[in-house]
Structure 1
Amino acid sequence: MPAPTNTLKAALKRGETQIGCWASLADPYATEVLSTADFDWILIDVEHSPNDLRTIMRQLQVLEGKRANAVVRLPMGEDWLIKQVLDIGAQSLLIPMVESADQARDLVRATRYPPNGIRGSGAAIARASMFNTHDNYIKTADAEICLIVQVESRAGLTVLDDILATEGIDGIFIGPSDLAVDMGYHGDTSQPEVRDAIKDALERISATGKAAGIISMNDKDAQEYAEWGANLLAVGADILMLATAARNAMALWRPRTDR
């Protein structure tokens, strides 16, 4: 039995727009709730959320068989961490702060078995192969890995074409807030210079046929990003959804009780 088909990777290859949501609460129950909204993908965030290997695995488990494909964003592109996350069943990764083609090539190698990479061959005892029930896992796993790299600095944009040309990279995700910080605007993505940089990047990525990714909680901005070529589009985050709903409820009721 081969490795499971990565339906997110297949959809992106067909050029289909995939709408996603950030899972930042680091809890499988909350991520399962998100899955009922029928997002195309849900990002398990490890960069800015208190996830560890076991909470990542439990969220992969609750998303299995759901419409929403799991994407794991690691805090860095370390070989050992990539190996562990792939072994617990992740097939789609988002790696932040990529700023060179060499870095992108190293990430590709970390996700592939020899001779194409350096991934350790321990699949027989790993959840990724369903504990060796997928007996052809090692032969077929490489083709089902979806590797998205995050470009979120001026240095990364300078070499965007080189990163795009890296074989094995399935797409590039623009980090708008970090980019705005790096450009000197303290995270303000509404600045014309930032918007121009985002538009140019998304259009260039989309023109190559690779996935063009970005996140926005603002519907107007998200729609513009889609028009500029974004087809891996995150439109929400669980923490912000919860916080907004809670604050709105209390904003409605506080005046009624403070009379």
Structure 2
Amino acid sequence: MSLRVKPTLRDRLAEADRPLAGIWTCSGSALAAEICAGSGMDWLLVDGEHSPIELGELVGILQAAEAYPITPLVRVAANDLVRIKQVLDTGAQNILVPMISSVAEAKAAVDAVHYPPRGHRGVGSALARSARWNRVDDYLHHAAEHVSLIVQAETAAAVEHAAEIAAVDGIDGVFVGPSDLAASMGLLGQQSHPDVVAAVHRVFEAVHRAGKPVGVNAFDPAVADAYVQAGADFIAVGADVSLLARASEALAARFIPDSDRAARASY
């Protein structure tokens, strides 16, 4: 059988005539992921770093998103050969690796997503959804065509080395994480600080010089708009959990007296 696959995020970015807007799913719910997948957004960031999503839940989320034209991007917990192999074996086509601050770390991520001789991805296609349990003809020799790799720039060191990281063969794009970047710069919780924004812009410029697309996380619409104007090729603008949190708070503010809400704030 042939593998029915969507275009990778690499392909989507290459063909796009506008910045691609994405939404996170962090709840671990396949139902919530399907709601987000059907929203009309361009890409879906499935978070395996700061959320409770495990491998079994990831499979259900990918299956739920499959029926929609959205492009899932799965963030792994770390730049770890074993974990990246496991996530790829679930059928994830697009991998986001956090905390890449050097060329060596970028090369290690590339190594993890490719089978030998290019890399060291473990071979378990007979057991894995990625190859549909060896029902896909010649999957091992064509797997690289169906996988894209994005790395995150989230530290001051990553800003300094952004051009070299982006230039690594096999890196298909760089995604900036302003929250961790701010922390790395001694500005914890201040991702909109002018120095942080300037650092994000430096990454944009460096990655574009290397000929690769660059994205950023920005839940504040005004900040997101500014990053689009600054040249972001893809941008994450919300998350299932934050949308639910803010919307439920707005309902409470509308219908629950301030005194009652204040009393409950201690829980």
The match for 2:107 is 105
Change (3 A) 1:6 1:124: farther
Pairing of 1:98-247 with structure 2 (within 5 A): 98-247=100-249
Query: When the two structures are superposed, what TM-score results if normalisation uses the length of structure 1?
Result: 0.94
Spell out, residue by residue over 1:200-250, the C-alpha distance to the aligned partner (whole angstroms, 9 max, x if none).
211222343312111111111101111111112101011110011101011
Query: Per-residue deviation at 1:98?
Result: 0.6
Query: Per-residue deviation at 1:133?
Result: 2.2
Within the candidate set 57, 73, 76, 1:74 is matched to: 76
How far apart, in 1, do the equivalents of 2:5 and 2:244 lie? 33
How far apart, in 2, do the equivalents of 1:252 and 1:59 lie? 33
Within the candidate set 13, 22, 25, 2:24 is matched to: 22
* Stretch moving more, 151-160 or 9-18: 9-18
Task: Indicate the structure whose relative CO is greater, using CA pairs within 8 Å and at least 6 residues apart.
Answer: 1
How far apart, in 2, do the equivalents of 1:224 and 1:188 lie? 16
Query: When the two structures are superposed, what TM-score results if normalisation uses the length of structure 2?
Result: 0.92
The match for 2:10 is 9
How far apart, in 2, do the equivalents of 1:197 and 1:173 lie? 13
How far apart, in 2, do the equivalents of 1:96 and 1:196 lie? 20
3-state DSSP class of the match of 1:198? helix
How far apart, in 1, do the equivalents of 2:124 and 2:170 lie? 22
8 A contact 2:8–2:94 mirrored in 1: no
How far apart, in 1, do the equivalents of 2:233 and 2:86 lie? 28
Spell out, residue by residue over 1:151-208, the C-alpha distance to the aligned partner (whole angstroms, 9 max, x if none).
1111111111110110000001111011111111112122211111111211222343
8 A contact 1:88–1:127 mirrored in 2: yes
How far apart, in 2, do the equivalents of 1:32 and 1:213 lie? 23
3-state DSSP class of the match of 1:62? helix
8 A contact 1:180–1:186 mirrored in 2: yes
Number of residue pairs the alignment of both structures matches: 258
| RMSD of aligned residue pairs (Cα, Å) | 1.7
Q: Any gaps of 5 or more consecutive residues in structure 1?
A: none
Query: Per-residue deviation at 1:15?
Result: 4.5
Query: Per-residue deviation at 1:3?
Result: 6.9
* Stretch moving more, 12-21 or 236-245: 12-21
The match for 2:36 is 34
How far apart, in 2, do the equivalents of 1:204 and 1:159 lie? 9
How far apart, in 2, do the equivalents of 1:189 and 1:58 lie? 33
Q: Any gaps of 5 or more consecutive residues in structure 2?
A: 261-267
How far apart, in 1, do the equivalents of 2:16 and 2:231 lie? 10
Determine if the alignment matches structure 1 residue 89 to structure 2 residue 56.
no
Query: Per-residue deviation at 1:130?
Result: 1.5
How far apart, in 1, do the equivalents of 2:211 and 2:231 lie? 10
3-state DSSP class of the match of 1:141? helix
